[in-house]
Amino acid sequence: MFLKEIKQKINSTQRISQVTGALELISAVKMRKSQKIALGSRPFAQKVIEILKRLSEYQQECLQKNSFYFHKRELKKVLIVIVTSDKGFCSSFNKNILKFAEKEINETKESFKREKTTTPEIEIMAVGKKAIAFARKKKFQVKVEFSGIGDYGTLEETKPIADLLLRYFQEDQYQRICVFYTDFVSSFIQKPRKMQLLPLCSESFKDILRESAFAKDSTDKSASFAKAKKSSEVKLPEKFPDYVLEPSPGRIFESLVPQLLEFEIYHIILEANASEHSARMMAMRNACENANEIIKDLTLNYNKVRQNQITAEVSEISSAKEAMG
């Protein structure tokens, strides 16, 4: 009876290891592809942020007149975008970002309370099924939910998100929009990150440029990126004349800023995707290793029990024979 139980356990563990093994292989392929896309998009994203940063630093007068994207308005409502995966099985990937987001949300609330200003409302835009579930469980006010973005993410898929965010900001529904996402550092390390998307402000860009993975050389695979980094090391002079904006500043802000923001959202999703697949692959690899270890232990146990049984049987027979003889 006991033997049979162990045998069953071994079989079921074997089946689990088969599933996790398959998932590991699938994730490995997806990881490679999504990493390649994410790393490829980094030079563009970096330049986008650099340009937005310089714009926000150099054109202040002009900005006040021409663009509301840079205006800091009185905070009434804050929108928080949380980017997670649709599927589970990726160890602490979702847990980390959700924990980080929750902590930041609570801290923001506290700081508003301390300052005794009117507390702005905080609403959530959940991207990915895990974020949706989280926001519902924690009873946050959820404004919109997005899910079903593919494994690699395309501009067409992420454009609705960017459009929606821009519209909210334009219509003054929200006076600040923050994004929480996971930054892909390497296959082993993914960091949760906060970024203020709107209004555009140079401090937030500085933070991103300093902290984000794309400011550092994370993997060997980012060889093309390392080259880009070199060029960004060229230090700009402290102060240079304001940009000439052709054909007109208004037109630049109208067309350029939304375009750049659209790409930022796309890039964020790519980073999150690369992180998700890397996290899942590592999780599945660990699961496989654990399963194999358990199988090894169980097999040892199985053999021991079987041997015990045989010994017992033999001694029974021989003692019976002795008694008869």
Partner 1 sequence: MVLNIITQDRIIYQGKVSAVTLPGEKGELTVLPNHIPLITPLTGGKIKVQDANQKELFFEIESGVLEVNPVEMNVLVSV
- Binding residues vs partner 1 (CB under 8 A): 37, 40-41, 43-44, 47-48, 50-51, 54-55, 58, 155, 224, 227-228, 231, 234-237, 240-247, 251-252, 255-256, 259-260, 263, 266
Paired tokens of 46: 């970096």
Strands 121-127 and 77-83, bridge-based pairing: parallel
CB closer to partner 1, 43 vs 128: 43
Write down the least CB distance from residue 228 to partner 1, Å.
6
Write down the least CB distance from residue 193 to partner 1, Å.
21
Contact (Cβ atoms closer than 8 angstroms) between residue 75 and residue 196: no
CB closer to partner 1, 58 vs 89: 58
CB closer to partner 1, 122 vs 252: 252
Strands 141-146 and 176-184, bridge-based pairing: unpaired
Q: Is 122 left (phi over 0), alpha (psi -120 to 50) or beta?
A: beta
Write down the least CB distance from residue 43 to partner 1, Å.
5
Write down the least CB distance from residue 39 to partner 1, Å.
10
- H or E stretch at 81: strand 77-83
- DSSP for 178-231 reads EEEEEEE-SSS-EEEEEEEEES--HHHHHHHHHHSGGGS---GGGHHHHHHHHH
CB closer to partner 1, 248 vs 315: 248
Write down the least CB distance from residue 50 to partner 1, Å.
8
How far is the C-alpha of 275 from the C-alpha of 106, rounded, in Å? 25
Q: 229: burial class by Cβ within 10 Å (0-12, 13-18, 19+)?
A: middle
Write down the least CB distance from residue 35 to partner 1, Å.
13
Write down the least CB distance from residue 187 to partner 1, Å.
20
- Cβ atoms within 10 Å, residue 98: 22
CB closer to partner 1, 260 vs 283: 260
Three-class SS state of 152: coil
CB closer to partner 1, 172 vs 217: 217
Distance, C-alpha 12 to centroid of its chain: 32
CB closer to partner 1, 40 vs 160: 40
What is the signed CA dihedral for 97, 162, 63, 251, rounded to 10 degrees? 160
How far is the C-alpha of 267 from the C-alpha of 272, rounded, in Å? 9
Q: Which residues neighbour 91 within 8 Å (Cβ) at sequence distance 6 or greater?
A: 279, 280, 282, 283, 286
CB closer to partner 1, 1 vs 234: 234
Write down the least CB distance from residue 217 to partner 1, Å.
15
CB closer to partner 1, 130 vs 267: 267
Write down the least CB distance from residue 94 to partner 1, Å.
27
